[in-house]
Structure 1
Amino acid sequence: MKIRSTSHALPRDDGRPSSDAVSVTTWNSGFIAALADGAGTAVAAREAAEHAVSMIATHYRSHPLGWTTGKALRETVRLINRTLWNESNARFGRPEMVCTLVVALYDEGLLTYLGVGDSRLYLLRGGEFQLLTQDDIDPENPLRLTKALGAAETLVATTAKISLEQGDVLFLCSDGIHHHLSDEELRESLLAETSARHIAKRARNASPDETRDDCAAIRIEVESLGWTERREDHQLPIPEKLASGQKHDGWSLLRSFGANDRCWLAEREGCRQVMKFAPLEAIDQPAITQAFLKETWNAIRFSNDPPFVKAWENPTRSSLYYIMEFVDAPGLAMLLKQRRLQVDEAVQLGNFLVEAGMRLLRHDLVHGDIKPENILIGSSYDSVFFKLIDLGSSCEVFSHHSRAGTASYLAPERFKNAPISERTEIFAIGVTLYEALTGSLPFGQIERFQTPVFRDPKTPSALNPLVPPWLEAIILRACSIQPEGRYSHFSELLFDLTNPMKVRPWHADQAPLIQRNPVLFWKCIAVFFAILSLILLIRLATLH
């Protein structure tokens, strides 16, 4: 996930330290933000706040794997409270190390939050501003806290959970801010993307001398949500035997797709859907379970993109699977056994694959296994449409240095441990278009563990005379053996597909100069004959 955060602890008066403390800790799939307000102006209060926020992330990240995020956070706070209580009594003989605390934790796909005292957590979503925490104060005396960290030997803290959305803004603050700025003023500041530092300064400037206080704030904007493992998913059973007629959560399995007996067409009350179950190997290999869960998340988050099929989870599922819409269309590989694509269909397929690749790349992902078997082709009135399926091999660009994918569609550099990239995806698109138009693979069938020797393929027009020169040049450039000869970006390939008259001719590296650059060839010939004529003239002149 990606967040943008600012935080600041501003003292009541310049020239002295603040009794508030702030901390934001992030990792690949989550973050934990903590804000503490030392109760009082004594050094012990400041130490309590600093100690609380410094311990939060350390203790939470080391919690037992069997604990939920809520339990882990509550136990962490309970431990910090007891530590402050014991240290305070040992040093002062009474509770001096006391502070309020508010925590916002994003882990396992949910935001878990907790508040102790009167420091607050707000959520700004779509212009609506909401207070998530409740103040622990005496209703008859608003200045008296009913609960604080380190104030008693035991502390019972409660947590709550909500889902986050892209674009959400979280705002944590001490009472020095929310006592002097109204909710509407805070909302306007957050909408204007005001930093935590400037909001703290605004609150301090707005407060009279008699009520002025330290001001601390944390502003977190969620730019994108990443995939996170959920503990309960790992506890779902994985069915070992799947067969026609079996029922799963009310759905009857009808038939499996191809050789993959983990992907089934299912039916209930006349409705059909596709159920994809976790691989058998996931039963005793947690890494495969994790990969399947990530595939599930990718399938669901790209559901609304036209190139992909819709996917979702059954919230009450009893085993580990996810669901996809059933598209009543054959796979491209099956169609190619009957006929080759027409030129206009191949151009449409190329545009489709480039668009799908660009949509994935916006999220730093590549498909990883583009081939006819992963493309559905259907008809709609007088045109065809395509869908790209199976995100099981999708991964972050430049993340894989292995031969993951289907060998016959892997770029040559992938066999030498080069990372997966935009260029290697373009190679797979080129091979797929070559096969769709000719019925053959440009470099032949390559086995998974084979280390092939690549040679320039036959031109597509040699196998299918209907392929125009401009499209042939695109395909051969896309599946160039040398990465430098290939398109660098999807946008370059898309431009050529949509501008046939501007496509540059393509010639293999071993082709003679007259084919690769006829203008240069005839220039060289002209220069040669000019030099030869000059030599002959000089010899004739010397003879006379």
Structure 2
Amino acid sequence: MPLTVSTGHHSVAGLRPRNEDFVGMVTPGEPELSCKGMVLAVADGVSGNEGGREAAEYVVRGLLTDYYATPDTWEVTTALDKVLVAMNSWVQQQGSVRRELAGMATTMTSLVLRGRMYYSAHVGDTRCYLLRDDELQKLTQDHVWDRPEMQHVLTRAIGLDSHLVIDHGMGELRVNDVFLLVCDGIWASLTEYDLTDYLKQVSTGKLGSEAACEALCTAALKAGSQDNCSAVIARIDSLPEGELRDAISELHALPVPPRLKPGQTLDGYAIEEVMHTSQTTVLYRVSEPFHHRQLVLKTLHPDKANDVQERSAFAHEAWLAKRVVARFFPQVITPDQRNYLYYLSTWHAGASLQQRLEAGQHFTIPEAVAYGGKLVRAIGALHRRSILHRDIKPANVHLGDDDEIRILDLGVAQSGFDSQDGQGNASHSMAGTPSFLAPEQFQGAAPSRSTDLYATGVTLYYLLTRHFPYGEVEPFQRPRFGEATSPGRYRPDLPHWLENVLLKAVARDEADRFETAEEFLLALERGAAHPLPPPQIKPLAQRDPLATWRMLAVLSIVANVLMLYLIIAR
């Protein structure tokens, strides 16, 4: 099921001689809908002459056009930033070249709906609201002076300054969410109670999106608004990636493609390279002639074509991959037609951390900290979506030529949604690479956020030292964990604060580690300014109670033997 949205818009001049507002939207079909999403925007021109209207119209039209011309590999926020910064330069240039447009500028609020996520970009005092579960949330902050006599004086607008700062927001979509983009001509005249009432009617279907926008403009003018009135409404009717059971049923009916070679095609995609082959899956780099882009096609190995369990696991992986819509992951692309079992994702130039290490790349301390922060953010993004990766390691962390970190391979990932469908990889069996598994997992403990964070810590430790904190663990080995080796032993230039962060991340006891990705990230960002204390060496009785009792037993035996000897000697 694709993303479906009911939209509407309305804009009137009101009591003003001309309408300096401008609204617009693009609701594309596939594959643009999955790749780029739909865009909605409202702008309110700022000027005492025709320049305000021209700025508002140019920015909205330019955004709706140029956003879809940006590379598919760019994140939504990156694409919005690039386009709006260019718009800002143009508006400033026009205002300085043409006297009649002097001082032209515009506020702007835009919303991108893609997959199961929304992204907002905002400058000025237009607003974005979200009605969810009958509660109204204001997603933007007005860029105006906070002094009472200057409440309507803008501090930010497109064209106001050569340096443009854009507020970005993002979140997960839910069915029946209702978004409202609105100018100050409406929100300054109506209360949030009034806005909530109209949006509730849209949510329940009593009022259509278009009719609600017109009703809001009319109500604002009746309430005394002296300004232009404009509104855009979007109601989320359905979301992509249905239940896991549905995804598995759909993919079970598709045949596994044969082993392919460069030069062959599959559903119109040209095979350019066999990127990786494992016992269960095959990855190809393919090209899509229509959009002139490269993608990654992942499918099951032909030997697993009739393996029901592997088919279900692959469907689960594809389902999860579509849920993680963020810059930290390759994005899944929905094909126009699919006649075989596979899924497509964006291809990014670069290499995994493991490949870079094997090629001899040396990571400096600042680089490791920067990439570590991005990796921890990515883990946090997974955990907020109730997903455990279970196999974080350098080979599954991609460093792109654009300097972005992306997590790969959700093949053994576990999700909080698995149980609701009775499918997927819900097993608590030990999965992952032994040297990156937390100590408690060797005792049969279930994977958790803590085990993902432990593996993240080991990954950073290895990136800096090329060693493991507890030594390398071989498959089928049951290791005994003592104290972690300080990373400074292998990397003397490591600052003490970073040593403490790494040792906390890879602590043997789960209670001594970071509880959340956010806590881990904060420790990296604070660095030497607020260093963590060094880990305390626990008494032997706490570190290894069994060894303590064994030692006491040995001492007791020795003492008894000695006493017996003394008695006999008399």
If the length of structure 2 is used for normalisation, what is the TM-score? 0.49
Q: For residue 265 of structure 1, what is the aligned residue in structure 2? A: 285
For residues 479-499 of structure 1, the C-alpha deviation after alignment (integer angstroms, 9 at most, x for no partner) is: 111112111222221121111
Aligned partner (choices 294, 301, 304) of residue 316 of structure 2: 294
Cα drift, residue 477 of structure 1 = 0.7
1:333 aligns with 2:351: no
SS of the aligned residue for 2:322 comes to: helix
Larger CA deviation: 283-292 vs 225-234: 225-234
- Amino acid corresponding to residue 287 of structure 2 in structure 1: E
Measured in 1, the distance between the counterparts of 2:380 and 2:275 equals 28
Question: CA, structure 1 residues 480+241, in 2 after alignment: closer, same or farther (shift >3 Å)?
Answer: same
- Amino acid corresponding to residue 277 of structure 1 in structure 2: T
Measured in 1, the distance between the counterparts of 2:501 and 2:538 equals 18
Question: CA, structure 1 residues 289+229, in 2 after alignment: closer, same or farther (shift >3 Å)?
Answer: farther
Question: CA, structure 1 residues 188+324, in 2 after alignment: closer, same or farther (shift >3 Å)?
Answer: closer
- Amino acid corresponding to residue 338 of structure 2 in structure 1: R
User: Which structure 1 segments of 5+ residues have no match?
Assistant: 1-124, 128-164, 171-184, 195-219, 513-544
Cα drift, residue 503 of structure 1 = 2.5
Cα drift, residue 226 of structure 1 = 4.4
Mapped contact 2:377–2:518 kept (Cα < 8 A): no
1:449 aligns with 2:476: yes
Cα drift, residue 430 of structure 1 = 0.7
Measured in 2, the distance between the counterparts of 1:400 and 1:498 equals 35
1:407 aligns with 2:434: yes
Cα drift, residue 245 of structure 1 = 3.1
Measured in 1, the distance between the counterparts of 2:313 and 2:428 equals 17
1:371 aligns with 2:357: no
Measured in 2, the distance between the counterparts of 1:294 and 1:366 equals 13
1:385 aligns with 2:404: yes
1:502 aligns with 2:522: no
Matches within 5 A, 1:460-539: 460-500=487-527, 501-507=529-535, 509=537
- Amino acid corresponding to residue 176 of structure 2 in structure 1: D
Mapped contact 2:131–2:199 kept (Cα < 8 A): no
1:167 aligns with 2:175: yes
Measured in 1, the distance between the counterparts of 2:261 and 2:536 equals 50
Q: For residue 297 of structure 2, what is the aligned residue in structure 1? A: 275
Cα drift, residue 252 of structure 1 = 2.7
Aligned partner (choices 411, 414, 417) of residue 395 of structure 1: 414
Cα drift, residue 297 of structure 1 = 1.7
Q: For residue 438 of structure 1, what is the aligned residue in structure 2? A: 465
Measured in 1, the distance between the counterparts of 2:492 and 2:295 equals 41
Question: CA, structure 1 residues 353+187, in 2 after alignment: closer, same or farther (shift >3 Å)?
Answer: closer
Matches within 5 A, 1:55-94: none
Mapped contact 1:402–1:414 kept (Cα < 8 A): no
Mapped contact 1:456–1:508 kept (Cα < 8 A): no
Aligned partner (choices 253, 256, 264) of residue 246 of structure 1: 264
- Amino acid corresponding to residue 445 of structure 1 in structure 2: E
Mapped contact 1:354–1:490 kept (Cα < 8 A): yes
Question: CA, structure 1 residues 126+316, in 2 after alignment: closer, same or farther (shift >3 Å)?
Answer: farther
Q: How many residues align?
A: 310
Mapped contact 1:400–1:420 kept (Cα < 8 A): no
Measured in 1, the distance between the counterparts of 2:428 and 2:251 equals 28
Question: CA, structure 1 residues 504+281, in 2 after alignment: closer, same or farther (shift >3 Å)?
Answer: same
- Amino acid corresponding to residue 265 of structure 2 in structure 1: K
Aligned-residue CA RMSD (Å): 3.5
Cα drift, residue 236 of structure 1 = 0.7
Aligned partner (choices 356, 361, 380) of residue 358 of structure 1: 380
Measured in 2, the distance between the counterparts of 1:507 and 1:386 equals 29
User: Which structure 2 segments of 5+ residues have no match?
Assistant: 1-129, 133-172, 179-196, 207-235, 420-425, 541-570
Question: CA, structure 1 residues 223+502, in 2 after alignment: closer, same or farther (shift >3 Å)?
Answer: farther
Measured in 2, the distance between the counterparts of 1:167 and 1:396 equals 20
Larger CA deviation: 395-404 vs 492-501: 395-404
Considering Cα pairs closer than 8 Å and 6+ residues apart, tell me whether 1 or 2 has the greater RCO. Answer: 2
Measured in 1, the distance between the counterparts of 2:238 and 2:537 equals 49
Mapped contact 2:484–2:507 kept (Cα < 8 A): no
- Amino acid corresponding to residue 244 of structure 1 in structure 2: P
Measured in 1, the distance between the counterparts of 2:336 and 2:308 equals 22
Cα drift, residue 279 of structure 1 = 3.9
Measured in 2, the distance between the counterparts of 1:502 and 1:275 equals 45
Cα drift, residue 373 of structure 1 = 0.7
For residues 105-124 of structure 1, the C-alpha deviation after alignment (integer angstroms, 9 at most, x for no partner) is: xxxxxxxxxxxxxxxxxxxx
For residues 370-410 of structure 1, the C-alpha deviation after alignment (integer angstroms, 9 at most, x for no partner) is: 11111111344xxx321111122221269542211111111
Cα drift, residue 313 of structure 1 = 2.8
Mapped contact 2:131–2:200 kept (Cα < 8 A): no
Question: CA, structure 1 residues 511+377, in 2 after alignment: closer, same or farther (shift >3 Å)?
Answer: farther
Measured in 2, the distance between the counterparts of 1:273 and 1:378 equals 14
Measured in 1, the distance between the counterparts of 2:539 and 2:349 equals 45
For residues 278-318 of structure 1, the C-alpha deviation after alignment (integer angstroms, 9 at most, x for no partner) is: 24464222222122112112212223x01111112324122
Measured in 1, the distance between the counterparts of 2:298 and 2:386 equals 25
Q: For residue 32 of structure 1, what is the aligned residue in structure 2? A: none
SS of the aligned residue for 1:330 comes to: strand
Measured in 1, the distance between the counterparts of 2:471 and 2:340 equals 40
Mapped contact 2:271–2:286 kept (Cα < 8 A): yes
- Amino acid corresponding to residue 332 of structure 1 in structure 2: L
Cα drift, residue 190 of structure 1 = 7.0
Measured in 1, the distance between the counterparts of 2:264 and 2:347 equals 18
If the length of structure 1 is used for normalisation, what is the TM-score? 0.51
SS of the aligned residue for 1:264 comes to: strand
Aligned partner (choices 272, 284, 291) of residue 306 of structure 2: 284
1:420 aligns with 2:439: no
- Amino acid corresponding to residue 507 of structure 2 in structure 1: S
Q: For residue 342 of structure 2, what is the aligned residue in structure 1? A: 321
Larger CA deviation: 405-414 vs 457-466: 457-466
